[in-house]
Chain A
Amino acid sequence: MKPGKQILSIVLVVAVFAAFNFGMYQLLTRRLSNNFSGATKAQMIDVKSYLPHEEGSDLPELESTLKLTDNLPILDGAAALVPVYAAVIHNVYPEGCVTYQGGTFSDDNFYGENFAEDSAMQYKNTVRGYQAIVDGTTDILFCAGPSEEQKQYAEEQGVELVYVPIGLEGFVFFVNENNPVDNLTAEQIRKIYAAEYTNWAEVGGVNRIINPVTRLKGSGSQTAFEAFMGETEIGHKSPLAVLGASIGFSFRYYMDGIVENEAVKMLSLNSVYPSAENIQNGSYPIVAQFYAIYRADNENENIPVLIDWLLSEEGQTLIEKTGYVRLQQK
């Protein structure tokens, strides 16, 4: 082979691989900003915005008649409920009860936050939070309902957990803002996740593969999703689906009030949009309770005091002020 053709061959090989990798980067890699490190942009939640007793935090103020001074229950919870339990600490707990390893807040470690062991506020999110409540390192966990595995873990450890519903939240499905589909029925969504519908054209959209995205097993939204699917089995999607147009799920306030990503939109379900009003009046079809969870054998006398307060008019007002939906009508 002539030298010119030899060089051309080598350049061609490099160009083919470069083009392939560039295509994969555009379609996938650039979208995979992770949330397993506090140093990345797409954290599950920006905890720094919800630090109690800190200037500039986004927590609501309330004239609370309950003020705890000692035996403070340690509060922990899911990402979506950080604003709720941080607001409780902000309005009911004394200043100085939230402490950090090294003295000041930092979110630059593996899990993102550096709450000290004795801090009244922790953030372990759902999966580690359930372990913490069972193991006794947290007093009250603010979470969606438990998965079967989480219930089983508590049983295996011989721990009885008490689940107290303290608020309501809509379970929502969302797509990219450019996806022309705005509304689906619950049945259509079940069929999408069962892999019976594989193309958006089958549900009134464009001719593009559907990529039904699920979440981490044991997370609050995945558990709620499995409850939504009921007896319908989740189907196996084609490996090519990852290149298609996705549908995902979450809780309304996490989407709308915390992450606030304008590049995605929530879908109406059975023609009802998941607004706070539609969740409370019961017209939105998938409403989940969220809970304050504690060990039945926990002897901290302030736990029932705090739970009663959360269910009172003041507590429910605080839940509403954080953007969630109260249990009972005013």
Chain B
Amino acid sequence: MKSRTFYILLFSVLGLCLALTVAHFLYVIYAYQHCSIIYFIGKELWL
């Protein structure tokens, strides 16, 4: 793979992953404000 092609591909993948992560973050912020806190606390991770 040519260097230029590689960097285009790398930054495209990086951009896509970043966009999906930001979308995940926004969903978490929105859903946290509307979720059932009983369910939220009941599903807490305790190892």
Contacts and interface: CB of A to CB of B under 8 A. Distances in A.
Interface of A: 1, 3, 6, 9-10, 13-14, 17, 20-21, 24-36, 42, 44, 174-179, 213, 215, 242, 245-248, 250, 255, 259, 261, 263-264
30 contacts: A1-B3, A3-B1, A6-B6, A9-B10, A10-B9, A10-B10, A13-B13, A13-B17, A17-B18, A20-B21, A25-B24, A28-B28, A28-B32, A29-B24, A29-B27, A30-B43, A32-B31, A33-B39, A34-B31, A35-B35, A42-B38, A174-B38, A176-B44, A178-B44, A245-B46, A246-B37, A248-B38, A255-B38, A263-B43, A264-B41
A35 B34 contact: yes
In the complex, the 7 A-B pairs of residues with the closest C-beta atoms, listed nearest first: A263-B42, A178-B46, A17-B17, A32-B31, A31-B43, A42-B36, A176-B44
Contacts of B45: 26-27
B37 to A, nearest CB: 4
A9 B17 CA distance: 14
A113 B45 CA distance: 33
Interface of B: 1, 3, 6, 9-10, 13-14, 17-18, 20-21, 24-25, 27-28, 31-32, 34-46
B interface secondary structure, majority: helix
B5 to A, nearest CB: 9
Nearest to B44: A176
A10 B6 CA distance: 9
A34 B46 contact: no
A42 B45 CA distance: 18
B44 to A, nearest CB: 4
Contacts of A248: 37-38, 40-41
A33 B37 contact: no
B38 A264 contact: yes
Contacts of A35: 34-36
Contacts of B27: 29
A42 B35 contact: yes
Contacts of A29: 24, 27-28, 31
A175 B41 contact: yes
B38 to A, nearest CB: 5
Nearest to A178: B46
Contacts of B20: 17, 21
Contacts of A28: 28, 32
A21 B6 contact: no
A31 B3 contact: no
Contacts of A44: 36
A220 to B, nearest CB: 14
A179 B10 CA distance: 44
B10 A264 contact: no
Contact of A245 (B1, B18, B32, B44): B44
B24 A31 contact: no
